[in-house]
Structure 1
Amino acid sequence: MDYGRVADLSVTIDDVELQQREQDTSSGFTRTTTTVLLRGDGHVGRGEDVTYDGEDHHALAESGPFPLEGAYTFGSFADTVASMDLFPSGPQRPPSRRYRRWALESAALDLGLAQAGLDLGDVFERSYDPVRFVVSTTLGESPSFDRIARLRDAYPDVELKLDPTPEWTAELIDRLAATDAVRILDLKGQYAHADVHQPPNVSLYERVFGAFPTAVVEDPAASEETQPLLAEHANRLSWDVPVTSVESLKSVSFEPRWVNIKPSRIGSVEGLCDVVSYCLDNDITMYGGGQFELGVGRTQIQALASLFYPDGPNDVAPSAFNDPDVEGGLPESPLDPPASTPGFGTH
């Protein structure tokens, strides 16, 4: 994934607009995102700011759009954004700076491709393929099988990404394992200073590795107690939160075999190109990851999965799977490839 293929793309911006969205989620919180719209030469480019704190979105709405009108190459636009303070009053948490930068860069990439009459597959000379996806869901504060039962009733072939907690009972684990549908288990051991962070728990880890012998296990936390167990199952470990660059990928606790690719966590198109290229060159299995996108951010990560890792257990299910109530009639895995229309998976 050569960044040089997009760095010289021309991007002309005549107008900048921000649109805020809110949606309740199955994880029990209200998601707020901001869509960035860049207009120029009769085209619109879109990107989605997936910053988690509503306060940061409200502050952005009050401060107004960024002054980005002008003619650029994509590379010069990215350099301009990198030099800007995108949070004049400071974000609630540092990773949000990368999320907002990605929103602006992805919007400019979408616009530049549309203005050139190209889609992302054209640029990287790759075809769009059907995308296998998993549905990510929590099981509630008092974990139960209820939501899984409703999902499986509506979608019998659904594959799952779940977040194990110490509250999972032996009975619940047995029921989940019996579905043979759990593909990824996220231990949340790398979220330092975040509400969802879970410290290393050797008892939980032993139950997870034992009950789900073929599942990928994401973001464990290493400790004196968990280290031997993690070493035993190193070929099943995946990394998400630590992956913000190639250098960060090289510094995880175990040599990476699996990586959850989240463009917004990486923060830039150049960084994304570097990480994907490194994984391709080093036989690291990739799959896409979502961050409760409400709009174009979701279709963009689906487009990336379609081009670069369509067969992975991609956490890029249609956004409606994150709604509190499970309904039928949603697209099932694998997703149809995106249409080969100019832009970055948004048109």
Structure 2
Amino acid sequence: MSTHDPLADLPLEIDSYALEGLERDVSSDFTRLSTVIRLRGGGHEGVGEDVTYEALDHVAFQGAGPTLPLAGSHTVESFSRLIEELDPWPSPPVRDPSYDYRRWAFESAALDLALEQAGRSLADVLGREPRPVTFVVSLRLGDPPSIDPLRRRLDSYPSLRFKLDPTSDWDDELIAAVAATGAVDSVDFKGAYEGTIVDQPADPHLYRAVVEAFPDAWIEDPKLRPETDDILRDHRDRITWDAIVHSVEDIDALPFLPKMVNLKPSRFGSLRALCAAYDLCAERGIGAYGGGQFELGPGRGQIQYLASLFHPDTPNDVAPGGYNDPDPGPGLPDSPLAPEPSPAGFRWGDWR
């Protein structure tokens, strides 16, 4: 039986839905907007979070309001097919990946509501035990780059582990200082991005310096070019992929069989596609870790929940949201996160 099978036929009753906007300044030097989708039915509510990055897309979505014909009797799978047919975009998104982000928001809200109505938790339906979640903090080192953002966090939380985004303006002195902390579990070359604020070209000098300075770190999304392939060839066991992975077909199309991939639920859009990726990785012995999208609301807990069920011991980029603040305050939980699944539904922690 596939992972998706016990979820697909869960009954789902929807009476109405509402949208809630969230906003927060985060550590990547931008103001994050997201939209919480609240599906309501039978006295219960299910929540999901649209992690589309462009603010204008959220403004248009929230301004249009709950216009989709979602009321009625469904199953989790039939609702997924309905969302596939509908257009939840008042105007086309700025970037195509946002189609999947919004679909995931509706599908995760539907899963939460169906489980609430059934009085069962996600862990119970899947027959999996939630386990403590190992996490890393995703961080850029500023412009111009400095070790200060890393140092500030380590001063407050000495056991923190990190996923860093190296850029061409990292000099040898900075690379050595970062490596000396011993706190880096993965480096993200952002090689799959084009036309974004995080674009990073294939830089042979940077690749060589970083790969050699962090010999035990995972290497995410390198840009494979003749000038970088020679540098990376002996490190293929450490190469992992993120931005180009939206389906099992994308995993099949990778240039070589990876030992690890980043499975970000929002990139897959549908619950069906995400579950298929979990199953494929299990069948082929491919490790996985989870990734976040600067979630501000229930989406963060939901990806922590999935990590606890499918890949709790890997460097999950699902740190509690407080670590995304420009200056994280005291009292944040350390890794690993203790399991906090809700008694019923698809929620983690105290989000309501």
Q: Please state which band the TM-score falls in when normalised by the shorter chain.
A: over 0.9
Q: CA deviation at 1:72?
A: 0.3
Structure 2 counterpart SS, 1:226: helix
Q: CA deviation at 1:191?
A: 1.0
Structure 2 counterpart SS, 1:233: helix
Q: CA deviation at 1:253?
A: 2.4
Which residue of the partner structure matches residue 64 of structure 2?
A: 63
- The answer (yes or no) to whether the contact 1:222–1:253 under 8 Å persists in 2 is no
Which residue of the partner structure matches residue 33 of structure 1?
A: 34
Q: CA deviation at 1:230?
A: 2.0
Which residue of the partner structure matches residue 102 of structure 1?
A: 104
Cα distance in 1 for residues equivalent to 2:266 and 2:76 = 17
Which residue of the partner structure matches residue 13 of structure 2?
A: 12
Per-residue CA distance 1:249-288 (angstroms, 9 max, x = gap): 1112232211111010111100000011111111111111
- The answer (yes or no) to whether the contact 1:160–1:183 under 8 Å persists in 2 is yes
Cα distance in 2 for residues equivalent to 1:225 and 1:333 = 37
Structure 2 residue corresponding to 1:276, chosen from 261, 278, 281: 278
Give, as a single letter, the amino acid of the residue that structure 2 aligns with 1:284: I
Cα distance in 2 for residues equivalent to 1:345 and 1:311 = 20
Cα distance in 2 for residues equivalent to 1:75 and 1:277 = 17
Give, as a single letter, the amino acid of the residue that structure 2 aligns with 1:42: G
Structure 2 residue corresponding to 1:240, chosen from 235, 239, 242: 242
Q: TM-score, normalised by structure 1?
A: 0.98
Give, as a single letter, the amino acid of the residue that structure 1 aligns with 2:192: Q
- The answer (yes or no) to whether the contact 1:287–1:313 under 8 Å persists in 2 is yes
Cα distance in 2 for residues equivalent to 1:326 and 1:273 = 33
Which residue of the partner structure matches residue 305 of structure 1?
A: 307
Structure 2 counterpart SS, 1:300: helix
Cα distance in 1 for residues equivalent to 2:304 and 2:341 = 12
- The answer (yes or no) to whether the contact 1:24–1:30 under 8 Å persists in 2 is yes
Q: CA deviation at 1:204?
A: 0.6
Structure 2 residue corresponding to 1:206, chosen from 200, 204, 208: 208
Give, as a single letter, the amino acid of the residue that structure 2 aligns with 1:274: A
Q: CA deviation at 1:41?
A: 1.1
Q: Flag as ranges the 4+ runs of structure 1 deviating above 3 A.
A: none
Q: CA deviation at 1:172?
A: 1.1
2:309 aligned with 1:336: no
Counterpart mapping for 1:280-295 below 5 A: 280-295=282-297
Cα distance in 1 for residues equivalent to 2:10 and 2:35 = 25
- The answer (yes or no) to whether the contact 2:168–2:200 under 8 Å persists in 1 is no
Which residue of the partner structure matches residue 42 of structure 1?
A: 43
Q: In percent, how many aligned pairs have the same letter?
A: 51
CA RMSD for the aligned pairs? 1.0
Q: CA deviation at 1:195?
A: 2.5
Which residue of the partner structure matches residue 155 of structure 2?
A: 153
Cα distance in 2 for residues equivalent to 1:198 and 1:167 = 10
Which residue of the partner structure matches residue 134 of structure 2?
A: 132
Give, as a single letter, the amino acid of the residue that structure 1 aligns with 2:7: V
Cα distance in 2 for residues equivalent to 1:291 and 1:11 = 27
Cα distance in 2 for residues equivalent to 1:339 and 1:265 = 23
- The answer (yes or no) to whether the contact 1:162–1:184 under 8 Å persists in 2 is yes
Structure 2 counterpart SS, 1:33: strand
Cα distance in 2 for residues equivalent to 1:19 and 1:88 = 16
- The answer (yes or no) to whether the contact 1:16–1:36 under 8 Å persists in 2 is yes
Which residue of the partner structure matches residue 321 of structure 1?
A: 323
Which residue of the partner structure matches residue 229 of structure 1?
A: 231
Cα distance in 2 for residues equivalent to 1:175 and 1:62 = 47
Structure 2 counterpart SS, 1:342: coil
Give, as a single letter, the amino acid of the residue that structure 2 aligns with 1:82: E
Q: TM-score, normalised by structure 2?
A: 0.97
Cα distance in 2 for residues equivalent to 1:225 and 1:137 = 27
Cα distance in 2 for residues equivalent to 1:61 and 1:53 = 13
Give, as a single letter, the amino acid of the residue that structure 1 aligns with 2:30: F
Give, as a single letter, the amino acid of the residue that structure 2 aligns with 1:308: F
- The answer (yes or no) to whether the contact 2:305–2:341 under 8 Å persists in 1 is no
Q: How many residues align?
A: 347
Cα distance in 1 for residues equivalent to 2:210 and 2:282 = 29
Give, as a single letter, the amino acid of the residue that structure 2 aligns with 1:39: R
Q: CA deviation at 1:120?
A: 1.0
Structure 1, 318-327 or 294-303: larger mean CA deviation: 318-327
Q: CA deviation at 1:340?
A: 4.7
Q: CA deviation at 1:18?
A: 0.2
Gaps in structure 1 of 5+ consecutive residues:
none
Q: CA deviation at 1:229?
A: 2.0
Q: CA deviation at 1:185?
A: 0.2
Cα distance in 2 for residues equivalent to 1:27 and 1:192 = 18
- The answer (yes or no) to whether the contact 2:60–2:90 under 8 Å persists in 1 is no
- The answer (yes or no) to whether the contact 1:217–1:236 under 8 Å persists in 2 is yes
- The answer (yes or no) to whether the contact 1:16–1:67 under 8 Å persists in 2 is no
Structure 1, 2-11 or 250-259: larger mean CA deviation: 250-259
Which residue of the partner structure matches residue 183 of structure 1?
A: 185
Cα distance in 2 for residues equivalent to 1:254 and 1:22 = 40
Structure 2 counterpart SS, 1:45: strand
Q: CA deviation at 1:319?
A: 0.5
